[in-house]
Structure 1
Amino acid sequence: MAAAALVLPALVALPAHGAASGCSVNYTVNEWSGGFTAQIKVTNLGPAVNGWQLAWTYAGDQHITSGWNTTVTQTGAAVRAADAGYNAAIATGGTADFGVQGTWSAADPTPTAFTLNGTACTGNGTPPTTPPTTPPTTPPTSPPPSGGLPTHALVGYLHETFANGSGYTRLADVPDSWDVIDLAFGETSSPTSGSIHFTRCPVAECPSVESDADFKAAIKAKQAKGKKVLLSIGGANGEVQLTTAAARDAFVSSVSGIVDTWGLNGIDIDFEGHSLSLNTGDTDFKNPTTPVIVNLISALKTLKARYGSGFVLTMAPETFFVQLGYQFYGSGPFGGQDPRAGAYLPVIYAMRNDLTLLHVQDYNSGPIMGLDNQYHTMGGADFHIAMTDMLLTGFPVAGNTANMFPALAPSQVAIGLPATTNAGNGYTAPAAVDQALDCLTRKTSCGGYATHGSWPALRGLMTWSVNWDRFGNNEFSNNFHSYFG
């Protein structure tokens, strides 16, 4: 498909509110054919600053199209990234983390000369007298893991442990158009035990179910074609509450047992219902204290460490647990709110370095307020544009601009939709799906919503489900491939 023209604002001089006498920069790039993202960390080695600009010059043809946690401008090869307001202050020894996304066509060395508020970043300066403390849930200083996914990926759930009106689909019969196949679901018979089981659909319920041997062979065949097969844990009926360290350890042990038994590529966390909620007084998503949150983070970090960088980790929260956090977080400062509001935010934040893909369910949702402070309802392009813009721009949690949930990298984000009208509330027709993609990746056809950028590297789409898409004559997957080519 033809690429849309991208227009950047002209470079403007921004006021510096403090001069830096020393600084260092860590610039880590992740490239693919025609595009790149760069995660940038600047450390202030001099006096505290309140308001910053980091400038550098490319030696090649890199062209920045968007950024996160920054306001970025470019003239020719010269780039200037300024603070985003909420991260303007950098203490002595403190850091600012942000990222940019762009295009390129020729190999080019990573820039090495940076200036912070006009002062060269040479790694020299007055070091902090006390090493800065780092919370356990630090934003990433390296590119997010790709998990071996294509630039634009199609993700679908496969009904593997149950049958419904969409019919049973053998894994071997899943079309190769699906890049990630989530086996639904790993569940627990006791929500607080932490022990997860994966029980394949019985013949009595699914007469065409394949044997375990054929199922395992199908997994290997999909993987040989570059597809990722994951265990999805939870679902509407699979409540999981890791209230104790014992439950956490049982979760790690049982999940790794399933992954090893079937030779899977990773896991998908699809906690719904009452699996995640915040205890009263737990108000800082960067430093959670609620056991079910802390234990889940610990379990996921343990699994990631056990299997290494190739382990695929995805999440499929509902809007109630993510975007609703813009207005409400937990039970609130005075109590009385639903303690589940925004409860996924600390998990997403803590796992940013390890999260392959976040695909929020933009369905079965009530109206949600976007960054334009207007309510958006599911079923049309507007809802997906507003909800995705929040993830790619970042937002103040519970309206507190001093407590910002930072933007995710575009390569970490996909949009979740129902495949057909039968699959769930919030079905979006293909034309509206394309409109949302046009707006988010090209900043065209946005309707009344003004996005805070354009993100060509948006990873793709997720749907519930492969089975329902097959039932609907593959409308969803056909439209995905028609759009992305």
Structure 2
Amino acid sequence: MVGYLHASFANGAGYTKVADIPDSWDVINLSFGEPTSVTSGDIRFNRCPATECAGVESDADFKAAIAAKQAKGKKVLISIGGQNGQVQLTTTAARDTFVSSVSAIIDKWGLNGLDIDFEGHSLSLNTGDTDFKNPTSPVVVNLISALKTLKAKYGQNFVLTMAPETFFVQLGYQYYGSGPWGGQDPRAGAYLPVIHAMRNDLTLLHVQDYNSGSIMGLDNQYHSMGGADFHVAMTDMLLKGFPVAGNTANMFPPLAASQLAIGMPATTNAGNGYVGPAEVNKALDCLTKLTNCGTYVPRSGAQPNLRGLMTWSINWDQYNGTREFSKNFDSYWP
């Protein structure tokens, strides 16, 4: 189970110390590293100040708690981006600064790797960039290059995860970039070349199945948030693969089930698209066992190796002391 920790801001959910994170969480994404400017590539991780986050621990305690989590087999990553952290690596200089600044954060806190949570206008495809296997847009090419450099620097144990929105991934089934004649949103499907280029180095892809519009699934029907079907249809696209922009000669290949987790909000406060434990379990039953399926039945068959769930966020799960999301996960996958 993957959870985001509000480590640099309060966000209304209250501050949770790293030492107080329940052992339910296997991957902890420190949120967020943000750039000094949109195109600088210079990523900084500023811990939440005590004036904003009551009870925030000292730097020494923060670092010690990270090491204690890792001693239990947990992975602690720096998540880059978020809603406010627009990152556009438009130049090779920005790419190189990204590598050095992210490395500095990883080394300072002794982290296991990196989560890419680029949202908004961070990634888009230039007009004419139509082949996800051979991208030409600098922001995409430079990000891929930076991630490959970081993976090579830290070696096989480097954990790389991504948390794109559906707009940047599954929407690519219908639309890719600005389209063959221009005029479409150039961000449509813009994560696909990054995911594809890094597929052999990608530990986990957990698309945000929340704050999403309706998206067409492999059944050519539109699926909307709020129930198990949305999670099943969106995840099945990654398990089965799909033609990009409907072109059957240009297939986005499937990812391994062990590389996929499903992104969900932990509570109604955390984001649009919350579903209760019963619907979460229906989605997991359908994807892993082909039982309890609703109107959408996965084209990819039963996938018992599906890796797990991601949620925004650890803090919201802790809020009011309910821990509904993590307790349900623990009971489903003991």
Shorter chain as normaliser: what TM range?
over 0.9
In structure 1, give the amino acid aligned to 2:63: K
SS at match of 1:185: strand
Q: Of the candidates 25, 30, 41, which is equivalent to residue 183 of structure 1?
A: 30
In structure 2, give the amino acid aligned to 1:374: Q
TM-score by length of 1: 0.68
- TM-fit CA distance, 1:448: 1.1
Matches for 1:371-390 after TM superposition, within 5 Å:
371-390=218-237
Please name the residue that 1:244 is paired with: 91
* 2:206 maps to 1:359: yes
Which contiguous aligned blocks of 4+ residues in structure 1 show a shift greater than 3 angstroms?
Answer: none
Please name the residue that 2:315 is paired with: 467
- TM-fit CA distance, 1:203: 1.1
Deviations along 1:210-267, one digit per CA (max 9) or x if unpaired, are 0000000000000000000000000000000000000000000000000000000000
Please name the residue that 1:195 is paired with: 42
Please name the residue that 1:480 is paired with: 329
Please name the residue that 1:458 is paired with: 306
Matches for 1:10-89 after TM superposition, within 5 Å:
none
Quote the Cα distance in structure 2 between the aligned partners of 1:219 and 1:436.
Answer: 32
Runs of 5+ consecutive residues of structure 1 not aligned to the other structure: 1-153
Please name the residue that 2:159 is paired with: 312
Please name the residue that 1:271 is paired with: 118
TM-score by length of 2: 0.99
Please name the residue that 1:423 is paired with: 270
- TM-fit CA distance, 1:189: 2.2
Quote the Cα distance in structure 2 between the aligned partners of 1:463 and 1:379.
Answer: 15
SS at match of 1:313: strand
Q: Of the candidates 161, 176, 182, which is equivalent to residue 8 of structure 2?
A: 161
Deviations along 1:118-141, one digit per CA (max 9) or x if unpaired, are xxxxxxxxxxxxxxxxxxxxxxxx
Quote the Cα distance in structure 1 between the aligned partners of 2:164 and 2:117.
Answer: 6
Deviations along 1:385-429, one digit per CA (max 9) or x if unpaired, are 000000000000000000000000000000000000000000011
Please name the residue that 2:279 is paired with: 432
- TM-fit CA distance, 1:204: 1.0
Q: Contact 2:286–2:297 (CA<8 Å) still a contact in 1?
A: no
SS at match of 2:44: coil
Quote the Cα distance in structure 2 between the aligned partners of 1:334 and 1:446.
Answer: 39
Q: Of the candidates 179, 182, 192, which is equivalent to residue 335 of structure 1?
A: 182
SS at match of 1:361: coil
Deviations along 1:410-468, one digit per CA (max 9) or x if unpaired, are 00000000000000000011100000000000001111112111100000000000000
- TM-fit CA distance, 1:207: 2.3
Quote the Cα distance in structure 2 between the aligned partners of 1:394 and 1:164.
Answer: 36
Please name the residue that 1:369 is paired with: 216
Deviations along 1:319-343, one digit per CA (max 9) or x if unpaired, are 0000000000000001110000000
In structure 1, give the amino acid aligned to 2:252: F
In structure 2, give the amino acid aligned to 1:455: Q
Quote the Cα distance in structure 1 between the aligned partners of 2:166 and 2:11.
Answer: 25
In structure 2, give the amino acid aligned to 1:355: L
SS at match of 2:286: helix
Percentage of identical aligned residues: 79
SS at match of 2:54: coil
Please name the residue that 1:96 is paired with: none
Count of matched residue positions in the alignment of Structure 1 and Structure 2: 332
Q: Give the structure with the higher percent strand.
A: 1
